[in-house]
Structure 1
Amino acid sequence: MTKMGPARRRGLSTEVADEIREAIFDGRYAPGEALRETELSEALEVSRGPVREALQKLEREGLVHTEWHRGATVTALSLQDVAELDSLRGALEVLAVRRVVDQATDADLSLIEKTAAAMDRADTPHEMVRCDIAFHDAVYAAANHSRLQQAWEAIRSQVHLFLITRVGVSTDGYLEQIREEHRDLVAALRLGNVDGALKLFAEHRRHAFDVLTKG
């Protein structure tokens, strides 16, 4: 059975990368699963060249791992990967939260609040992960710091994979927990309490980290 539909524009490696990325993000390809060029080219109805280029792009994003004797697989995060992503994400979020509290407009905060409210409509873990990423996209956008935004974009796909890996370990109480945590994050940002907001963001990150390292 084909796991993906045909690409709309043949020969476009960026679109092929988008299709494969979405298949990883919605769980059709799990961490550690093989990504075979022949199968992907047949499923997407493109030649193997764009597929190869797409896999190289996704490898640069950290979503794909390639070994000469195994080919390409969806990246399976090691404990070191998890620790490094958590610490780097934490460092970036400290600056983002401080800037949002210091200078975000009401429109910025309303957009952040809207992304949190969208979590009420998420009814699967993978949908909730997308909402979680969208919330943090809005926080970084509200920080109004172009280089910080670029740093977030550089690890965004890997953080998405981090969260997918987290729900692969356990989904017990996950949907409501994430909704509640993000309502609290919005409230802290609205109050303008930087210390309180930083504490809640750190707790939010720690919950996912603990599932991956202690579960």
Structure 2
Amino acid sequence: MSSVLPKAARRGLADEAADLVRAAILDGRFPPGAALREVELAARLGVSRGSVREGLARLEREGLVRGGWHRGTTVIEVTAEDVEEVYVLRAALDRLAATTARRVADEEHLSALDRLVAEMAAEAAGSGEAHRLVALDIAFHDRIYAAAGNGRLTAAWEAIRSQLHLFQLRRVDAARAHYRARVVEEHRELAALLRSGDVRTLARRAEEHVDSARRSLLAGLPPAP
């Protein structure tokens, strides 16, 4: 394993090990299918194997890695079945989050959405780094869920958030031009609808936004063996 990881700031902390490995996965340092070996990770992170094991278990619950008794832990592969399941769930959650936020969001949350759209536009007009655009995309939706103010809804979003982040990175790898062409305007429209649009239009556009991402990602996946 050649990837360089920073040392954990506090030893023996499983949450920090999970955070560092997650960041490495989402940065592309551990691509889909990559093996994650406890001994090597413990040495690179400067934590115990037990902390790494607990951290990997947390990432498995998030859906980022897969493991088993007779096989090592690996970063998940992006399959059409996974995409269909996760994006169908996301469409329902995003619709509810958007329509709830439309009713209860305050100016602070709405202004934060506008700032994130402005950051996306600046990034897309410049280098348009895929990882940065996807991070802003996810942060935008984080803010909508926060604005909705429903703890259980946010927990449901967080249960699939890491997988979605990885899937969106895979989507950009397969169709970067398509993503860059749409990401700013789609999010700008959602931000505007959250301020003044009718609920029906907002609900429809929230679902269409997710469906567009799903179709783009599926089109870029290799055929199933």
Which band: TM-score by shorter chain?
A: over 0.9
Give the one of 117, 137, 142 matched to 1:137. Answer: 142
Give the structure 1 partner of residue 218 of structure 2: 213
Code of the residue aligned with 2:170 in structure 1: it is: T
Contact kept, 8 Å, 2:146 with 2:154, in 1: the verdict is yes
- Displacement of 1:26 in angstroms is 1.3
SS of 1:214 mapped into structure 2: helix
1:1-215 → structure 2 map (5 Å cutoff): 1-122=2-123, 123-215=128-220
**TM-score normalised according to structure 2 size:** 0.88
Give the structure 1 partner of residue 223 of structure 2: none
Contact kept, 8 Å, 2:64 with 2:75, in 1: the verdict is yes
- The total of aligned residue pairs comes to 215
Separation in structure 1 between the aligned mates of residue 219 and residue 50 of structure 2, nearest angstrom: 41
Contact kept, 8 Å, 2:3 with 2:30, in 1: the verdict is no
CA gap of 1:84–1:2, structure 2 versus 1, over 3 A, is closer
- Displacement of 1:121 in angstroms is 4.3
Say what the alpha-carbon RMSD is for the aligned residues.
1.7
- Displacement of 1:145 in angstroms is 1.4
- Displacement of 1:212 in angstroms is 2.2
**TM-score normalised according to structure 1 size:** 0.92
CA gap of 1:177–1:21, structure 2 versus 1, over 3 A, is same
- Displacement of 1:70 in angstroms is 3.2
SS of 1:140 mapped into structure 2: helix
Comparing 170-179 and 94-103, the one that deviates more: 170-179
- Displacement of 1:72 in angstroms is 0.6
- Displacement of 1:2 in angstroms is 4.2
Comparing 46-55 and 115-124, the one that deviates more: 115-124
Code of the residue aligned with 2:155 in structure 1: it is: Q
Q: Which runs of 5 or more structure 1 residues have no equivalent in the other structure?
A: none
Contact kept, 8 Å, 1:124 with 1:175, in 2: the verdict is no
Q: Which runs of 5 or more structure 2 residues have no equivalent in the other structure?
A: 221-225
Contact kept, 8 Å, 1:35 with 1:73, in 2: the verdict is yes
Separation in structure 2 between the aligned mates of residue 74 and residue 62 of structure 1, nearest angstrom: 9
Separation in structure 2 between the aligned mates of residue 172 and residue 67 of structure 1, nearest angstrom: 38
Contact kept, 8 Å, 2:32 with 2:76, in 1: the verdict is yes
Code of the residue aligned with 1:206 in structure 2: it is: D
Contact kept, 8 Å, 1:115 with 1:138, in 2: the verdict is no
